Structure 1
Amino acid sequence: MVFYFKARPEVGDYTIFMGLDKHENEELIKYGFPEDIWFHVDKMSSAHVYVRLQKGQTIDDISEGLLEDCAQLVKANSIQGNKVNNIDVVYTPWSNLKKTASMDVGQVGFHNSKMVRTVRVEKRINEIVNRLNRTKVERKPDLKAEREAVNAAERAERKQHLRDKKRREEMERLEKERQAEMRSYKGLMVSENMTSNKQIASANKSLQELEEDFM
């Protein structure tokens, strides 16, 4: 089971989600999207909360309001973290999550610790948590199928880009050939004109010589 929440409307159309337990967390780790940003209470047990950014966005595009929604939700879903103030929430892109065979179910590390950011949460804000919970929807998605569908769409998009690129290159090649033919034709015309002028001049000279001989 995965729980889905809607972020505050003023920050844009963003979905925040988390797994029911460590087994769902494992699936979310495995079949995440490049646009997913992962949140967790630092040094405490908590839910794995994600926000899915818009395509092309990065962690730098997370607004303060969206960050606060995610941080409040992950704090509220930490047994220990929900009871204390001034906790740290860490967050990083899904692509930075590291999973090895020796790790327990739901456990993760990081490929690059420099890509992990921290936000301090002073206290729980019930107004935010309650607003998020009112948007809560439970689903049992086929995460693998969703990820494969995205992969297929991305492959199709890459193929289309490649076809478009080849088409542009072919059109550019044909245009270069056309321009080269035009330059060659113009050069030929100039050469023919020069030849004709020489022939006329030669003919005039011959005529003049004949006239002089006649005289």
Structure 2
Amino acid sequence: MVLFFTSTAIDPPAVLYMGKDKYENEDLIKYAWPQDVWFHVDKLSSAHVYFRMPEGMTWDTIPEALLTDCAQLVKANSIEGMIFVFVCGNKKDNLTIIYTPADNLKKTGDMAVGQVSFHNDKKVKRVHVPKRENPIVNRLNKTKVEREVDHEQERVDRLKKESAQRRAEAAAKKKADADLAKQREAEKAARSYDTLFSGVDEGEEAPRKSVREMEEDFM
């Protein structure tokens, strides 16, 4: 089961989601979208929270208010059924939350369930959480929806949609290029037409008249 939350920290609202347990987290790591950003408590066991970025947003320009929502959601759900983690994660103040693009997550066969590392440590940012903010946590919890997700089918649907979008963009570019080439040909033909009736070849200067010829023209 996957837990979904809605953050109204930005407009339109953002979708946040996380696995119900560490086993579901394994599927989320495997099937995360390129648009997803992953959040976790630094150096502690915690919930894996994902934010799905809307078009035009980048992971390093996430608004501060939304970062706060994500960080508070991670902290509030850092339990995993263990009293120690509950105390250290949910109740402990001055935590550091780390976040990175989901495609920067690295998973190898020798890692424990739910454990990850990073392909590039330089693509990991941190946000400080002084304490739990109950108004934020309560607002997010009111939007919580739990549902089964067919991750493989969701991946297939996403890839089909992205493929169709790429084809549409390629077709639009091809048409634009053809229109531009047609316009240039028309402009070239117009220049040739003007040159034909001006009696001077394109790029060729008109012959200069002698002083005597100019005097005769004046007379």
Global fold match (TM > 0.5): yes
Where structure 1 has 5 or more consecutive residues not aligned to the other structure, the ranges are 193-215
| Secondary structure of 1:138's aligned partner | strand
Q: Is 1:69 aligned to 2:69, yes or no?
A: yes
Deviation digits for residues 126-151 of structure 1 (CA, Å, limit 9, x no counterpart): 22222221211101111222222122
Instruction: Tell me which amino acid in the other structure corresponds to 2:152.
Output: K
1:196 is aligned to none
Tell whether the 8 Å contact from 2:9 to 2:69 is kept in structure 1 after alignment. no
Deviation digits for residues 116-172 of structure 1 (CA, Å, limit 9, x no counterpart): 111121222222222221211101111222222122111111111111111122222
Q: Is 1:81 aligned to 2:89, yes or no?
A: yes
Instruction: Tell me which amino acid in the other structure corresponds to 1:174.
Output: K
1:19 is aligned to 19
Instruction: Tell me which amino acid in the other structure corresponds to 1:150.
Output: R
Instruction: Tell me which amino acid in the other structure corresponds to 1:129.
Output: V
Q: Is 1:144 aligned to 2:156, yes or no?
A: no
- Per the TM alignment, residue 10 of structure 1 is displaced from its structure 2 partner at its CA by 4.4
Moved more, 45-54 or 28-37: 28-37
1:206 is aligned to none
Q: Which has more helix, going by share of residues?
A: 1
The structure with more radius of gyration: 1
Q: CA 1:136 to 1:177, structure 2 compared with 1: closer, same or farther past 3 Å?
A: same
Q: Is 1:178 aligned to 2:177, yes or no?
A: no
Q: CA 1:184 to 1:127, structure 2 compared with 1: closer, same or farther past 3 Å?
A: closer
State the TM-score, normalizing by the size of structure 1. 0.81
Q: Distance in 2 between matches of 1:65 and 1:183?
A: 58
| Secondary structure of 1:91's aligned partner | strand
Q: CA 1:188 to 1:141, structure 2 compared with 1: closer, same or farther past 3 Å?
A: same
1:203 is aligned to none
State the TM-score, normalizing by the size of structure 2. 0.80
Number of aligned pairs? 191
Q: Distance in 2 between matches of 1:2 and 1:106?
A: 15
Q: Distance in 1 between matches of 2:9 and 2:72?
A: 17
1:1-215 equivalence runs, <5 A: 1-7=1-7, 9-12=8-11, 13-78=13-78, 79=86, 80-191=88-199
Q: Point out 4+ residue stretches in structure 1 off by more than 3 angstroms.
A: none
- Per the TM alignment, residue 94 of structure 1 is displaced from its structure 2 partner at its CA by 1.0
- Per the TM alignment, residue 104 of structure 1 is displaced from its structure 2 partner at its CA by 2.6
Moved more, 183-192 or 45-54: 183-192
How big is the alpha-carbon RMSD for the aligned residues of Structure 1 and Structure 2? 1.8
Where structure 2 has 5 or more consecutive residues not aligned to the other structure, the ranges are 79-85, 201-219
Q: CA 1:61 to 1:176, structure 2 compared with 1: closer, same or farther past 3 Å?
A: same
- Per the TM alignment, residue 64 of structure 1 is displaced from its structure 2 partner at its CA by 2.2
- Per the TM alignment, residue 89 of structure 1 is displaced from its structure 2 partner at its CA by 1.0
| Secondary structure of 1:11's aligned partner | coil
Q: CA 1:128 to 1:172, structure 2 compared with 1: closer, same or farther past 3 Å?
A: closer
- Per the TM alignment, residue 57 of structure 1 is displaced from its structure 2 partner at its CA by 0.5
Instruction: Tell me which amino acid in the other structure corresponds to 1:11.
Output: I
- Per the TM alignment, residue 183 of structure 1 is displaced from its structure 2 partner at its CA by 2.5
